[in-house]
Amino acid sequence: MEKPVVLVVDDEEDLVELVRYNLEQSEYDVRTACSGLEAVQAVAEDPPDLIVLDLMMPGVDGLQVCNQIRASEKTQHIPILMLTAKGDERDVVQGLEAGADDYVTKPFSVQVLLARISALLRRSERSVPEQDEAIKVDRITLFPRKHEVRIDGKPVQLTAAEFRALHFLARRRGWVFTRQQIVEAVHGPDYVVTDRSVDVLMVGLRKRLGKASSYIETVRGVGYRMKG
């Protein structure tokens, strides 16, 4: 069985070696990049199964790397875990808005980092169902196995988190879900995130859906639903 491939991106050599050592001890195939530009090139040439990405790097920073990866159909599905010293809520929201799937702040626990990586990979595997039964909501069509969304037949690029949120709502049209229920569907249970971060995720999803965003309705004081 092939080992999951993790790309670690950080300009701090000591930190890269620490993360590399612990990942290799946990049976991961580890690759590294010391700059944002190097990371973008590495992902384009041979996409990994997951990316651990520093936010603050000279030149091309982590947010720019994240945006570029999410903009490519070939790489937009790859789980991204941001690992950074910037831990304010505003920074977390920026990271999630750029397309990150999880966010760990420095200094960090190696065991927590390993657990988050393992959880992201499990969710990534579960997000691909056995059969590709298209889900259609008027103009919007989802192809779960392909991780693909089309509006009026034209493809729309979504981040992994945005796709999972849309898929969750589309499968249960008319049902109202709280922000916590959406978080658990997108990130799994016991994932700590603020209500504002969930709203940022939904704002990003609506922006990408364009005029079709009207199918996602905000239920004041409760959460969100997909109109039936």
pLDDT of 131: 45
pLDDT of 212: 93
pLDDT of 1: 55
pLDDT of 128: 46
Indicate the pTM of the whole model. Answer: 0.61
Per-chain mean pLDDT for the chain: 86
d(CA 132, CA 128) in angstroms, rounded, equals 9
DSSP state of 29: E
Model confidence at 182: pLDDT above 90 = no
CATH level 2 (architecture), domain 135-226: Orthogonal Bundle (1.10)
Q: Which pair of structure tokens corresponds to residue 224? A: 């969100």
The DSSP string of 43-89 is HHHS--SEEEE-S--SSS-HHHHHHHHHH-TTTTTS-EEEEES--SH
Q: Which CATH class is domain 5-126?
A: alpha beta
In degrees rounded to 5, what are phi and psi of residue 106? -90, 145
Model confidence at 117: pLDDT above 50 = yes
pLDDT of 141: 94
pLDDT of 222: 85
pLDDT of 130: 42
| Lowest-confidence pick of 65-69, 111-115, 122-126, 128-132 | 128-132
In degrees rounded to 5, what are phi and psi of residue 105? -100, 150
Q: Which pair of structure tokens corresponds to residue 179? A: 């922000």
Domain ranges of the chain: 5-126, 135-226
Amino acid at 133: E
**pLDDT tens for residues 24-81?**
999 999 999 999 999 999 999 999 999 999 988 888 898 899 988 888 878 888 999 9
Q: Does 135-226 match 5-126 at the fold level?
A: no
- In the sheet that holds 5-9, the strands lie side by side as 29-33, 5-9, 50-53, 80-84, 102-105
Model confidence at 88: pLDDT above 90 = no
Q: Which pair of structure tokens corresponds to residue 103? A: 């966010």
DSSP strands (E only) in 65-212: 80-84, 102-105, 135-137, 140-143, 148-151, 154-156, 177-178
